[in-house]
Structure 1
């Protein structure tokens, strides 16, 4: 009994430096990322502006407006998006026991995009970058309905014996993703040129329209869904051990899996409605955390790493080309496809 506190103190001593490092990186990343962009702003200026806002001594010059009204909301939206997608990917990989699970590969992102485009098309072709009630409320609702339909279709194709249908579930998700992508393209084909161009750029993923007014909904949804998932953490870990093991522990596996998939759909739908389609983040980040932190895989750590990863991807999208901005989805697709092949090669080697 006396050795238990000693072991706990030793475990804390091993983890504490890593946690302090992650916290330091999380605090420094927004300040450094806010200095990148078309306007030349130093990190010291960013720090002065932030301190001025906190102490009500802001100067109100052009640099302050760029930092507070453009770059920091964008950085916060990128962090929330990366956090939510990483959480969704990690949970999907656990409840399906499939290391290749991802909201993008499972068709959830495509279903959400289709639902949002249907709302835009049916409600008079409203622009996705408008600040009206449509883009704030009804777009996430339509995206969630589309993502939920995609999840239900994947589960229907797999049947009840999911424990023996892991590969079939992934193939079903890919097929449904292509189907919803084709339906979205069909809707864009019959839309006007201006609306089609706007929706096309949005569907590729971008944080260009992020603002403090649009940040609250993704932040609240991701936070509530993450807390709900953490409440069912033990049941989720039991499913990872197998459906039969979970059943013996008194867990309703089918109901729990459906509820968790719907939570992941809600996270993905809200992020897609605000940021467009961003793929492979939920696939890459959980594997990266497992490689960097073997034996210490934690859900919140995965979310934080996903948020930091998305911030730097956004910086790359803003700075890779002069006076142009690359869509976020293109960069994550390039990185994610290479990572996907790397995982397949590793599984084949084993």
Structure 2
């Protein structure tokens, strides 16, 4: 497996592999710059000095640079929670993708394999079509939180079904989990398609907009709701780097190295389900981040999960914040769904990667 992953490393990245700390430091700097640009860019422009002054004032500090109340309101109430939510979701999706690829020992794996996204899509579609009368009877908070709550519950239920189907006598079989995930994805897709047929035109627009993903609904409440689930995964998953490295050698070899394989599987499935479920609940379905970002990190730092996991979190956050900035400015005052931007960026890279690996295989046979 290590040899296969090594094929993903072109000669131009060899020098980066010898300087992994520089790569991670550069990713951190790029994340800061992308976040600052995202906060400053929009219909209401905010200069770097004004941005520093606004953030400092919010922290109780005083800077001499001036700004008006409209700029402060836009930064604090709209752009800052949007950037923070993008950081959380981008980190959670990319980190979950890297972890799932390590668990399945397959660089094409992503969190959707265990039914997280399809379960959320089924629950959201059903709620949009059938939940109108219930929302009229619900209180203000329940009406506000109903769609994210449906997505979160749907993703968790689908993941539990996949996990239960793949576990026998206390042992989880990864290949069975993959097959169960495919089956659950197919059933959830069929169910979502059925509800789409029942939907009105307005409901169809809501379903399509949710399926393409957006950070347009970001609020401080959404950030605070997402932090516990995604934050737990960001803190805990990198601690499994040694176990994932051992899994690359095979489950038997990892067991001989003292790794509790079943415990690692349970932790990965639970944390990934929580992180991706909360992300999908907050922003809808956003593709390619969990699949492409780990590949980019392996190009830069190699297959060691000690570097791939934190690097994926940094790069995933950077890409999602950058994609969101593009989505809300490229056709302003309208806004593109962020899923269109991430797919437009991720799909060409993935095709290039596929062609490159095929070319290397042909060169190796020559």
Residues in 2 aligned to 1:266 and 1:280: alpha-carbon distance in whole angstroms: 19
Q: Which moved more, 1:101-110 or 1:74-83?
A: 101-110
Q: Displacement, 1:126?
A: 3.9
Residues in 2 aligned to 1:161 and 1:231: alpha-carbon distance in whole angstroms: 21
Q: Displacement, 1:156?
A: 4.1
Unmatched runs of 5 consecutive residues or more in structure 1:
1-12
Q: Displacement, 1:70?
A: 0.8
Partner of residue 72, structure 2: 64
Query: Is 2:314 aligned against 1:304?
Result: yes
Partner of residue 46, structure 1: 51
Q: Which moved more, 1:210-219 or 1:142-151?
A: 142-151
Query: Is 2:195 aligned against 1:187?
Result: yes
Residues in 2 aligned to 1:132 and 1:189: alpha-carbon distance in whole angstroms: 29
SS at match of 1:187: helix
Matching residue within 340, 347, 351 for 1:330: 340
Kindly provide the CA deviation profile for residues 100-133 of structure 1, in whole angstroms up to 9, marking residues without a partner as x: 0112455421222223444553473649xx9723
Q: Displacement, 1:46?
A: 2.0
CA contact (8 A) 1:113 1:273 kept: no
Count of aligned pairs: 333
Say if 1:74 and 1:175 are closer, same or farther in 2 by CA, change over 3 A. same
CA contact (8 A) 2:323 2:338 kept: yes
CA contact (8 A) 1:114 1:143 kept: no
Residues in 2 aligned to 1:258 and 1:152: alpha-carbon distance in whole angstroms: 13
Partner of residue 7, structure 2: none
Partner of residue 146, structure 1: 155
Residues in 2 aligned to 1:147 and 1:344: alpha-carbon distance in whole angstroms: 32
1:1-350 correspondence runs (5 A) = 14-55=19-60, 61-104=69-112, 106-120=114-128, 121-122=130-131, 124=133, 126=135, 132-133=141-142, 135-136=144-145, 139-140=148-149, 142-150=151-159, 152-153=161-162, 156=165, 165=175, 169=178, 173=181, 176-294=184-302, 297-349=307-359, 350=361
Unmatched runs of 5 consecutive residues or more in structure 2:
1-17, 362-366
Residues in 2 aligned to 1:145 and 1:255: alpha-carbon distance in whole angstroms: 24
Say if 1:131 and 1:231 are closer, same or farther in 2 by CA, change over 3 A. farther
Say if 1:148 and 1:235 are closer, same or farther in 2 by CA, change over 3 A. farther
SS at match of 1:132: helix
**TM-score for both structures, normalised by structure 2:** 0.78
Kindly provide the CA deviation profile for residues 57-96 of structure 1, in whole angstroms up to 9, marking residues without a partner as x: 6966111111111111111111111000001000000000
CA contact (8 A) 2:232 2:271 kept: no
Residues in 2 aligned to 1:76 and 1:35: alpha-carbon distance in whole angstroms: 14
Residues in 1 aligned to 2:151 and 2:214: alpha-carbon distance in whole angstroms: 19
Residues in 2 aligned to 1:348 and 1:173: alpha-carbon distance in whole angstroms: 27
SS at match of 1:278: coil
SS at match of 1:298: helix
Aligned-residue RMSD, C-alpha? 3.3
SS at match of 2:111: coil
Q: Displacement, 1:332?
A: 1.7
Say if 1:229 and 1:345 are closer, same or farther in 2 by CA, change over 3 A. same
Q: Which moved more, 1:85-94 or 1:290-299?
A: 290-299
Q: Which moved more, 1:201-210 or 1:185-194?
A: 185-194
Residues in 1 aligned to 2:101 and 2:152: alpha-carbon distance in whole angstroms: 22
